[in-house]
Structure 1
Amino acid sequence: MEVTLGNSPELIAQAHIIRQQVFVVEQSIPQQLDLDGLDKEAVHVVVTDAGSLVATARLVQRDKWCAVMARIAVLKQYRGAGVAKLLINALLSHAAKVGLTVIEIHAHAYLRDYYQHFGFHYVKDVETVGEHPLIEMRYSVK
């Protein structure tokens, strides 16, 4: 598996392909909710396997110290293989390198325990997107 970070137009286009499949096709989330206009300012991570797209996520810096991790998507055939861990660790490492102190995430509620293993802490229930209840969680960058 190859992990690439950046915000080039090519990387963003690859992220969109993965997100379209996971969010719009599989989870029935309206595409306009996914395409929120923040992709150009975000740092994206894309995972590939022998050149094939596998997974993506992004980090949008809110201010000097805080960023939001979002759009975490793993293609169905790669789920359960530790790919999401690659995405999350890559973005947490990047956050530490650029001096961020807090990472927020709005995660599917059923993933609360999963994100707690990385050190995220539950803050509150936030909204329902499509039929998916989301919770806010925070991570303190060391």
Structure 2
Amino acid sequence: MTQPHPEFHLVRVTRPDYMVLAKELRHRIFVEEQEIPQALDHDGFDLHSMHVLVFADDEPVATGRWREEPETWADLSRIAVLKAYRGNGLGAMVVEALLAWAEEAGMQRAWLEPHAHLEAFYNGFGFERRGEGTEVAGHHLLRMERSLGPI
């Protein structure tokens, strides 16, 4: 398991104020930095998803979520790290937490749709590409899947 700097800590989002922080963080990363239309981030699944936040001291710096789909699939999405904090193992910390949580909940497979340039990162977690991907708001996204359990 990745060991990020000790100043970082991950929490499961169980409080409304943490949900607000996760949405604000996603807005900064997806809408402001990556110029993804806000409507695409607001997909209606937040209330049906399990979210995590990573804090550096008291500042939220990374987030992600997963939600249950039929056939015991876990949909991982909205995984994001503030630009100034990338390269510190926080993305790995989020992915590992989401996968563990989904597995605890009885999910048997997981999928996600990351930016194409992140394919090698997700390969490191056992995800494999399915198909050529799609273009969404000027970003090439891939469909990637894996079984849950040891890789």
After TM superposition, the score normalised by the length of structure 1 is: 0.95
Among 129, 132, 135, the alignment partner of 2:139 is 132
**Displacement of 1:41:** 0.8
**Displacement of 1:67:** 1.4
| Residue in 2 that maps onto 1:26 | 33
* Percentage of pairs with the same residue: 35
Q: Which runs of 5+ in 2 are unaligned?
A: 1-7
What root-mean-square deviation, in Å, do the aligned CA atoms of Structure 1 and Structure 2 show? 1.1
Task: Work out whether 1:84 is the aligned partner of 2:88.
Answer: no
Q: Which runs of 5+ in 1 are unaligned?
A: none
| Residue in 2 that maps onto 1:38 | 45
Which amino acid counterpart does residue 134 of structure 1 have in structure 2? L
Deviations 1:73-115 (A, max 9, x none): 1001100111000000000110111110011000111111110
Q: Which has the higher strand share?
A: 1
Among 65, 75, 96, the alignment partner of 2:103 is 96
Among 49, 57, 74, the alignment partner of 1:67 is 74
User: How many pairs does the alignment contain?
Assistant: 142
Q: Indicate if the aligned counterparts of 1:7 and 1:41 stay in contact, CA closer than 8 A.
A: no
Q: For residues 10 and 138 of structure 2, what CA distance do their matches in structure 1 show?
A: 30
Q: Aligned in 2, Cα 1:7/1:60: closer, same or farther, shift over 3 Å? A: farther
Which amino acid counterpart does residue 46 of structure 1 have in structure 2? L
Q: For residues 58 and 137 of structure 1, what CA distance do their matches in structure 2 show?
A: 16
Q: For residues 77 and 146 of structure 2, what CA distance do their matches in structure 1 show?
A: 13
Q: For residues 64 and 5 of structure 1, what CA distance do their matches in structure 2 show?
A: 24
Q: For residues 82 and 9 of structure 1, what CA distance do their matches in structure 2 show?
A: 26
Q: Aligned in 2, Cα 1:70/1:97: closer, same or farther, shift over 3 Å? A: same
Q: Indicate if the aligned counterparts of 1:7 and 1:40 stay in contact, CA closer than 8 A.
A: no
After TM superposition, the score normalised by the length of structure 2 is: 0.90
Q: For residues 99 and 136 of structure 2, what CA distance do their matches in structure 1 show?
A: 25
